[in-house]
Structure 1
Amino acid sequence: MKKRYQPLTEKERQLKTEEYFGEIVKGVRGILTDEKYKDYLDFSSKLPRYSFNNLMMIYMQNPQATYVAGMKTWNSLGRRVIKGEKSLKILAPIQKKFKEEKENNAGKKEVEEVTRIVGFKAVPVFDVQQTEGAPLPLNPIVPDKVEPSDFAEKIYELLKEKMNEELPVTEKTLERKGLYGYYSPSEHSITINEDHDITNKLTTLIHEYAHSIFHSPDGKYKDSGKDVKETQAESFAYLTCKYFGLDSSRFTFPYLVSYASNSDQLLLKHQDEIQKETNRLITKIENLILEKEITFDVPVRELADELGNDFISLYRFGKSYFVTKNIDESLMNNLEAIQSQQNCILIETNDKAEALSVFHHYRIHYPENAVDKLDGKKGFIHLYQVKNEELFFIGKSNFAGIKRLSETIRNESLALEQFQQVFEHIQTPSKTKEMELG
């Protein structure tokens, strides 16, 4: 007889969580006492949205992880976990609602419902390499192939202006040789050496901005030693720059050994705050790019799908859009290189809507929120319409969303007629086999 699953008791769960935290502390000792710290920073720059505790857990289980999510998220992206893959574990908060009595502005007492974190539990996640299915779009705000100088040229002045809302940021020639810039706690200001190139100015700005966060006159770590201050600033700068493809390696890690001699809990506290502040600046920079509609002259794959052995993609290059079939991405360094692969280009246009229409015509897997079901019939097949398009097809729901089974049709009455014929022929799931209709 199959044994039924027994959930952990609250005490067992607490012991398990304490075990995980113990592993995190052990991991912290490991990365902060030798050259592995740089490897850890390289790893965590790929996953900036995670807390430090969960980053450490993922890192200890799979240092090669690049994109981690739960099974439901992978299924929503049209991918499934490969059979036999072992999950990674991260910690998720356990939240409970409580009723509290508070006094309102009029001095009267009233009951208010509040939510508090009462503990943590381990939840399973998987790296993208542990999944298979529909290809992922590669649509980062800053594409991987952007040259550091190009990124700096478009971002530096905007970021400096944005930071000026928080504290003065100025440029001038600095007498001291090799000095890129500095943060002045007494004036709570940042000074950048104007004699350096713009890429160095940007990485310096990020490093000194970290000092302004952690070591200002009102800062939590204003009285910390230089070892702690430089490790905080360097970690922050390295993570942020690495995320955007910039090299900030001129800042080294000379103080790690003495920093690691502090208490374990202090180490955890520093790293968690570094991660949170890094995420805030990354978000700030990305919002600037979106707000100012900054584009970079490298191809970005916005959508992708597999049609049998064919790979269909929608690329954006500057203001041009390309729908391609089996294009060689290694040759896509500039506009001329893309256009040289004419046999792989289904359409080139400056009209995104037109490009989307062509891509939808060729794709096989549609997210459920990208289509509308037009019929009210029961069964495994239905007639679908691509949203905002005069594009119709017969499809079925599966783990990847909606799979197209027929050719796309641009005439609704013809599509409905074809669907009626097919539906009358195949009415029940028991008769189904994977098939192509058309």
Structure 2
Amino acid sequence: MANEMALSVGADPKVFQSYLDMQSKFPSYSVNNALLVLKQMPQATQLGDLSYWKNQKNYIRRNELNNKVLILEPGDEYRREDGSVGTYINAKKVYDISQSKNTRHRETPLNDINSLIMALANSSPVGFKSITPEQMPQGYAVMYDKNSDKIYLRNGLDDATKVFQLTTMEIAHAMMAKDNPHYDRNENHLTAYASSYMLCKQYGVNTDDFIFEVSPQSETNEPQDIKKELAKIKNIANDISNRMEPTLVQNRSTKEKSYER
């Protein structure tokens, strides 16, 4: 099922976007598992096995028990004939919150756009520099420059949503360009674009401006090659998110304390 969905992602930009939506809802899931959920239950929003829901003091409705979603998780290790160590893969049954008795979602912390931008600035692997519109290459409002290893921002850019969208994209370029003297931003545009989209979806930033007209391609059109491209997108988005989280947690804690006073 995962291979079938990977081929669909590579063939149809709309399916690719649906995959990004799913992966952004479950950022800790592997590419394989995001593809499996997309295939079996594209409307899923919160998944867990029976013990997970029991711990949440919630239970899956009896008539839904046969409508499980299968994902993969590592099992026990074993030793191959050549002496190397492998890991068994087990199928795991999970269920969506929509199949439970209590369908009320857990509350997720909200971050205002200014807090998100501050977290980006604090966690960026490269520095920023403001320049005049005349100095900025035509067509760009934010741009990573490999030669100076800086992200340049055009003065007067006051649309916070656009700043977040473009800055996450350029940080993605900066990460991919690191230690790569032959980095080509055009060849990696889709990866940076999709990583930014995933982060916007994850943090509730408007994504109406994103338009997907192409999908990740591979010369061989093999599912594994497409999955590698999807993993690259996921890993970059997760890396940026993990860098942002300490600042966001601190901001939320400060706000909570101010409300208590």
- What TM-score comes out, normalization by structure 1 length? 0.51
Kindly tell me the number of residue pairs found equivalent between the two proteins: 250
Deviation string for 1:70-119 (max 9, x for gaps)? Answer: 11111000011111322100010123278xxxxxxxxxxxxxxxxx6523
Distance 1:267 1:137, change over 3 A: closer
Alignment map for 1:385-424 (pairs within 5 Å): none
**Aligned partner letter, 1:203:** Q
Q: In the alignment, which of 8, 13, 33 is matched to residue 30 of structure 1?
A: 8
Q: In the alignment, which of 260, 267, 270 is matched to residue 229 of structure 2?
A: 270
Report what 2:77 is aligned to: 96
Q: In the alignment, which of 118, 135, 152 is matched to residue 191 of structure 1?
A: 152
Contact 2:144/2:150, CA 8 A, preserved across alignment: yes
Report what 1:121 is aligned to: 90
Displacement of 1:130? 1.2
Contact 2:128/2:153, CA 8 A, preserved across alignment: yes
Report what 1:141 is aligned to: 109
RMSD value, Cα: 2.9
Structure 2 Cα separation of the partners of residues 275 and 167 of structure 1: 20
Structure 1 Cα separation of the partners of residues 162 and 185 of structure 2: 26
Runs of 4+ off more than 6 Å: none
Structure 2 Cα separation of the partners of residues 217 and 184 of structure 1: 14
Structure 2 Cα separation of the partners of residues 97 and 266 of structure 1: 26
Structure 2 Cα separation of the partners of residues 64 and 295 of structure 1: 35
Distance 1:215 1:33, change over 3 A: farther
Please state which structure has a larger fraction of its residues in helix. Answer: 2
Q: Percent identity?
A: 20
Structure 2 Cα separation of the partners of residues 83 and 255 of structure 1: 42
Please state which structure has a larger fraction of its residues in strand. Answer: 1
Report what 2:82 is aligned to: none
Report what 1:209 is aligned to: 171
- Gapped runs of 5+ residues in structure 2? 80-84
Contact 1:167/1:189, CA 8 A, preserved across alignment: yes
Contact 2:97/2:103, CA 8 A, preserved across alignment: no
Report what 2:249 is aligned to: 290
- What TM-score comes out, normalization by structure 2 length? 0.83
Displacement of 1:133? 4.1
Deviation string for 1:108-158 (max 9, x for gaps)? Answer: xxxxxxxx65231211111111111485541x222xxx6xxxx22223234
Contact 1:153/1:199, CA 8 A, preserved across alignment: no
Contact 1:167/1:188, CA 8 A, preserved across alignment: yes
Report what 2:186 is aligned to: 226
Structure 1 Cα separation of the partners of residues 193 and 53 of structure 2: 34
Report what 1:167 is aligned to: 126
Distance 1:136 1:225, change over 3 A: closer
Contact 2:78/2:87, CA 8 A, preserved across alignment: no
Displacement of 1:62? 0.5
Structure 1 Cα separation of the partners of residues 91 and 4 of structure 2: 18
Q: Determine which structure has greater relative contact order: mean sequence separation of CA pairs < 8 Å that are 6+ residues apart, divided by chain length.
A: 2
Specify the SS of the correspondent of 2:11.
Answer: coil
Whether 2:100 is the aligned partner of 1:131: answer: yes
Distance 1:179 1:287, change over 3 A: same
Distance 1:134 1:210, change over 3 A: closer
Displacement of 1:181? 1.4
Rg (Cα) greater in structure? 1
Structure 1 Cα separation of the partners of residues 162 and 200 of structure 2: 11
**Aligned partner letter, 1:218:** N
Structure 1 Cα separation of the partners of residues 252 and 70 of structure 2: 38
Displacement of 1:289? 1.3
Specify the SS of the correspondent of 2:170.
Answer: helix
Structure 2 Cα separation of the partners of residues 41 and 241 of structure 1: 11
Alignment map for 1:234-245 (pairs within 5 Å): 234-245=193-204
Distance 1:156 1:82, change over 3 A: same
Contact 1:141/1:289, CA 8 A, preserved across alignment: no
